[in-house]
Structure 1
Amino acid sequence: MKLSARTRYAVRILVKLGRHGTDSPLKTTSLSESSGVSVQFIEQILRPLKKAGLITSMRGAAGGHMLAQKPDSISVGDVIRIMEGHVGLTACCDKKLADDCPRKEFCTTRSVWMKASQVLENELNSISLQDIIDGKVHPLE
């Protein structure tokens, strides 16, 4: 599974919003400057996050964006599902697409991809934005 730039930036943006807190909203221009991507790209990323209820947005001179939930209640898995549609190594690991696979009855490797996808999804679901903010996520050695 290779994550899109939109998904990777979505996690970064949400972490930035989580670090900023809820005292005042962060402007799109500030998110753009800190991430190094255009305002237009930031806006494309924010739309599905807002639709999913992870962020709130306010218009006007004092407007901007804030997390709509606490950072400890948002997992990396949640963000990936919002941005990518599912967490899985192959299309047959997506419950919605798996039934359409013409090989599902006799595929000898499907169980391998399903198991690996489940392990990956469980791990991503276990990591919250707060874990990232607190620096609790470390690579395996």
Structure 2
Amino acid sequence: MRLSTKGRYGLRAMVEIANHQENGPVPMHSIAEQQSLSERYLEQLLIPLKQAGLVRSVRGAQGGYILGRHPKEITAGDVIRVLEGPIGPVDCISEAFPEECNRAEQCVTRIVWCQVRDAIKDVLDSFTLEDLMKESQSMVAELEEKE
């Protein structure tokens, strides 16, 4: 199972917004530049995040993006679910819309897939944007010490 660039880049963009919104809305070109993303692709990621209320856009000369909630209230799992859909390594055990499998009652591998789903879910939901902000700031401090 692999996450697409949508989930990976979207989470990076959200951390970028969280790290810099204290100075006001973060312009899209700034997020794109700092995260080495095209503005066009970034815009495609921000639309569903905005629709889900995870980010808000501010119009005008000083416009850009801010988080829709406090960083400690947004998990990596929230972002991934918006951009990638419900978590589930196989369709029959997806957390939101499990397809009813005609073999569910006698499927010996179902327990494996359920545990994989739950482990992924637990990890993604255990990290908030605030946690990732702190980690990011720690990484920057370490790099500055080495210079």
Q: Note whether the superposition's TM-score is higher than 0.5.
A: yes
Q: Contact 2:86/2:97 (CA < 8 Å) preserved in 1?
A: no
Q: Deviations over 1:11-44 (max 9, x none)?
A: 1011011111344111111111111121110100
Q: Is 1:33 the counterpart of 2:40 in the alignment? A: no
What residue number does 2:104 align with?
104
Deviations 1:45-69 (A, max 9, x none): 0001000101110122111111111
Q: Which residue of 2 aligns with 1:89?
A: 89
- Aligned counterparts, 1:11-22, within 5 A: 11-22=11-22
Amino acid at match of 1:4: S
The whole-number CA distance in structure 2 between the counterparts of 1:55 and 1:23 is 16
CA contact (8 A) 2:56 2:66 kept: yes
CA distance, structure 1, for counterparts of residue 59 and residue 77 of structure 2: 29
Deviation, structure 1 residue 95: 4.1
What aligned pairs does 1:1-141 form with structure 2 within 5 A after superposition? 1-135=1-135
CA distance in 2, matches of 1:11, 1:99: 27
How far is the alpha carbon of 1:96 from its aligned partner? 4.6
Q: Is the 8 A contact 2:15 2:132 kept in 1?
A: yes
Distance between the aligned counterparts of 1:61 and 1:11, measured in 2?
A: 26
Q: Secondary structure at the match of 1:80?
A: helix
State the 4+ residue runs in structure 1 displaced beyond 3 angstroms.
none
- Tell me the distance in 2 between the aligned counterparts of 1:54 and 1:18: 11
Q: How far did 1:72 drift?
A: 0.8
TM-score, scaled to structure 2: 0.85
Equivalents in 2 of 1:98, 1:53: separation in Å?
25
Structure 2 SS opposite 1:78: helix
Give the whole-Å Cα distance in 1 for the aligned partners of 2:20 and 2:97: 38
Aligned to 2:142: none
Q: What's the C-alpha RMSD, in Å, of the aligned pairs?
A: 1.6
What letter is aligned with 2:68?
A
CA contact (8 A) 1:98 1:104 kept: no
Contact conserved, 1:53 with 1:68, CA < 8 A, in 2?
yes
Q: 1:61 to 1:84 in 2, by over 3 A?
A: same
How many residues are treated as equivalent by the alignment?
Answer: 136
Structure 1 gaps of 5+ residues are 137-141
